[in-house]
Structure 1
Amino acid sequence: MKSMSAENILKELVAFPVLGGESNLEIIYWIQNYIEQYGVKTYLVPNTENTKASLHCRIGPETDGGTILSGHTDVVPVKGQDWLTDPFKLIDKADGNLYGRGSCDMKGFLACCLAALPKLTKASLKTPIYFAFSYDEEIGCLAAPALITHIKATYKENPKFAIIGEPSMLKPIIGQKSIHILDVYVNGSAGHSSRIKQEVSAVHEAARLVLWAEQKMDTLIKSGPIDNRFNPPHSSLHVGRIQGGIAPNIIADKAMFSMDIRAIPSDSGHDIYQDFINHCKEKEAELKVVFPGFKINIKENHPLVPALNTDENAEVVALIKKITGHQEWHTVSYASEAGQFANAGFQSIICGPGSIEQAHRANEFISKTQLQQGVIMIEALIEHSKDSALN
């Protein structure tokens, strides 16, 4: 392969229809081959079944203080969405936008990294730049912990910064809420609806648990803390799906609902989750007296993804301001791998091309301007890394 523009690389990447949970080996091998043609050694971090792999590499010297550029290779499904074009073909329209699944979230950032690689490998860096590309981010940021562990075990030196290239219009994002998604299954006793006080309705008990979540959120709002950097400025509990029962005159023995917990950095998402578990245990003990088979099973749809809470005066914030020109920082309520990198000891920030408003929707796009500016940002990072006085 020869060097390619960001747009042409993005065209190749979009053509790999890798959904979260599916094998990403074809796209990761393509990326690996592209990187290694420049003489850069890459490392793969496979899953247990060897059906998926993350990739990382270092460009530059074995010195402390480098910067990790992090992104994911998977995308969300397109089924049921009203796409006007083939979602897995990058379409260049006259409006200046490039359409395709993942063009914005977040293959655009990967394309920027790879497009800057020729210049990166020729630069006389004083501190290194790393690529770290994961899988299964869209179903719970599942691969990042193993990827981070492998990075720390592979290199003797210590990277200092991590830039997670989620779409932010290249503006610095210093905070994100944690997220924890749960599927809750309630097992009650079936019976004639006239016996509602003698049986235990799974639907009624599921509804009470939903009300508990609403009341817990209200308690968190009243008791604080409030973080006005976020919208909403508090931790939230939300039930997005509920089902159960088979007929209006039959007491339901099965019900389930799905809930997400999004906690501001100063709240503990784990503690909120544990409060819910404790409440469920109390309900079980109470209702087993009526029906011994009553049970609440809680399945983690995906594990807790930690919050990001980077100080506005941190060096990584100054770095992003310098290389992008954007001086105002922001926060988001969606999840990303940034909190995982931060918890591993890297000064972490979210900054990438494209708008999050385009992510996960039909006719997703990234503007050509944003793609070009993404490359310019990485080229500015290269210049920064060439000057030891700035590190």
Structure 2
Amino acid sequence: MTTTALLKKLVAFPVLGGDSNLTIINWIKDYIESFGVACTLVPNLEQTKASLHCRIGPSVDGGIILSGHTDVVPVKGQNWDTDPFVLTNKDDGNLYGRGTCDMKGFLACCLNVLPNLVKADLKKPIYFAFSYDEEIGCLSAPELIRHLQNYYPETPKYAIIGEPSLMQPIIGHKGICLYTTTVNGSAGHSSGIRKEVSAINESARLILWLEAKMNALIDAGHIDLRFTPPHSSLHTGIIHGGIAPNVIADKAYFSWDARVIPSDDISTIVNAFKLHCQQRMQELKKIFPDFEIETKEIHPPVTPFDSKVDSDIVKLISKINANTNFGTVAYASEAGQYNEAGLQSIICGPGSIDQAHRANEFIAKEELIKYVELLHNLMHLFSSETIMKEL
């Protein structure tokens, strides 16, 4: 099948982050196994979702993982000109549909080169590793990575994460975690504000603490000029509380995120916030004994990603990709999780992140052609015993 035909099949699976992905993952599994390559599924506990991995080539150390995710973001409320789950080939050279660039275009390229990979005399193995629930927090990749590393007797060395980057090799991104903080205060008449503990007022103070913490990190020189903005950020995006202007709010909550540069640690920042909350509770329980502040993760932290410019993966990508303008990105991905697991990682994929998550998402057909060429370059590289010894 052509890359476009494969992409058409993949786009037709409307699997959103959080949904069961068994329809698309089983179709991919059947397609791969039709070429004689055994696939392994890594299901969740409920058996409603699964990641997939497989190996093409010999069982020797030093292979490379091609990593992608099977879920997409919702289309509800977006003004699409075409059916988002029907691939539309327009005269402008682009292919339209949800997930075309993020990141089913990458998956289609991998599946397109599979027949040639199977026939190639590979000296090092090439693995496919396709996950679920990436779009709601990169949730399944850690288990997929552990399973893959434990399943095969050999040890993979590299990972290419095919997020849309217009073929630019990306060597860093920030980490992220989302939290909800709930404040339990005391209700009362608004005239008695000094006798009660307003959950809204205390939430506002905590939000200002987060802003002050961000500014303190900047003032202390926690700067990484590779990123925009070049510092860790703490941001509150949702706040709810209260029932009337003249009633002191006894309940409030706010949701916030921490996006950290690789040299900062999310847990250090969050622990400092929780310590401050403990101090506030000790103080305000003197006024209202049942005063509480509770902070919960919305999902586990996504690890920052920082690949060294002198690493072997950078040398490898330079041999197969004409674009050697290495950069960083603001979005998070599974790259940090692969890197943290000991795999030298890099982001490089077809399509533009500017087209992701919006109405009329598209990928240029030229991008798919170029990425298939990159994968064929990888195949030839991994078929060369002389070159592989250099890496």
TM-score past 0.5 threshold: yes
Letter matched to residue 273 of structure 1? V
User: Hey, what does 2:313 align to over in structure 1?
Assistant: 316
For 1:277 and 1:153, how far apart are their aligned partners in 2?
A: 36
User: Hey, what does 2:386 align to over in structure 1?
Assistant: 389
Letter matched to residue 73 of structure 2? V
Whether 1:103 and 2:103 are equivalent positions in the alignment is no
For 1:285 and 1:264, how far apart are their aligned partners in 2?
A: 32
Q: What are the Cα deviations for residues 26-72 of structure 1, in whole angstroms up to 9, with x where unaligned?
A: 00000000000000000000000000000000000011111100000
Whether 1:37 and 2:38 are equivalent positions in the alignment is no
- Report the Cα offset of residue 274 of structure 1: 1.1
For 1:266 and 1:235, how far apart are their aligned partners in 2?
A: 9
Runs of 4+ in 1 over 2 A off after TM superposition: none
After superposition, residues 201-350 of structure 1 pair within 5 angstroms as: 201-350=198-347
Q: What are the Cα deviations for residues 69-113 of structure 1, in whole angstroms up to 9, with x where unaligned?
A: 000001111111122211111111111111111111111111110
Q: What are the Cα deviations for residues 321-346 of structure 1, in whole angstroms up to 9, with x where unaligned?
A: 22111111000121100011011110
- Report the Cα offset of residue 191 of structure 1: 1.2
Q: Secondary structure at the match of 1:105?
A: helix
Q: Secondary structure at the match of 1:106?
A: helix
User: Hey, what does 2:172 align to over in structure 1?
Assistant: 175
After superposition, residues 110-125 of structure 1 pair within 5 angstroms as: 110-125=107-122
Q: Secondary structure at the match of 2:178?
A: strand
For 2:37 and 2:65, how far apart are their aligned partners in 1?
A: 15
Q: What are the Cα deviations for residues 157-202 of structure 1, in whole angstroms up to 9, with x where unaligned?
A: 1111000000000111000111011111111111111111111111
Which residues of structure 1 form unaligned runs of 5+? Answer: none
Q: How many residues align?
A: 388
User: Hey, what does 1:141 align to over in structure 2?
Assistant: 138
For 1:78 and 1:292, how far apart are their aligned partners in 2?
A: 46
Whether 1:79 and 2:76 are equivalent positions in the alignment is yes
For 1:294 and 1:91, how far apart are their aligned partners in 2?
A: 56
User: Hey, what does 1:17 align to over in structure 2?
Assistant: 14
- Report the Cα offset of residue 225 of structure 1: 2.4
For 1:250 and 1:142, how far apart are their aligned partners in 2?
A: 40
Q: CA RMSD in A?
A: 0.9
Q: Secondary structure at the match of 1:56?
A: strand
Letter matched to residue 243 of structure 1? H
For 2:233 and 2:112, how far apart are their aligned partners in 1?
A: 39
Q: What are the Cα deviations for residues 5-24 of structure 1, in whole angstroms up to 9, with x where unaligned?
A: 11111111111111111100
For 1:311 and 1:369, how far apart are their aligned partners in 2?
A: 30
Q: Secondary structure at the match of 1:374?
A: helix
- Report the Cα offset of residue 297 of structure 1: 1.7
After superposition, residues 121-200 of structure 1 pair within 5 angstroms as: 121-200=118-197
For 1:178 and 1:212, how far apart are their aligned partners in 2?
A: 21
Q: Secondary structure at the match of 2:102?
A: coil
For 2:252 and 2:350, how far apart are their aligned partners in 1?
A: 42
Letter matched to residue 57 of structure 2? G
Q: What are the Cα deviations for residues 249-286 of structure 1, in whole angstroms up to 9, with x where unaligned?
A: 11111111111101111111111111111111111221
For 1:298 and 1:86, how far apart are their aligned partners in 2?
A: 40
Question: Percent of pairs identical after alignment?
Answer: 62
Q: Secondary structure at the match of 2:51?
A: strand
Which residues of structure 2 form unaligned runs of 5+? Answer: none
For 1:103 and 1:243, how far apart are their aligned partners in 2?
A: 36
For 2:188 and 2:12, how far apart are their aligned partners in 1?
A: 53
Q: What are the Cα deviations for residues 94-146 of structure 1, in whole angstroms up to 9, with x where unaligned?
A: 11111111111111111110011011111000001000000011111110111
For 1:154 and 1:282, how far apart are their aligned partners in 2?
A: 47
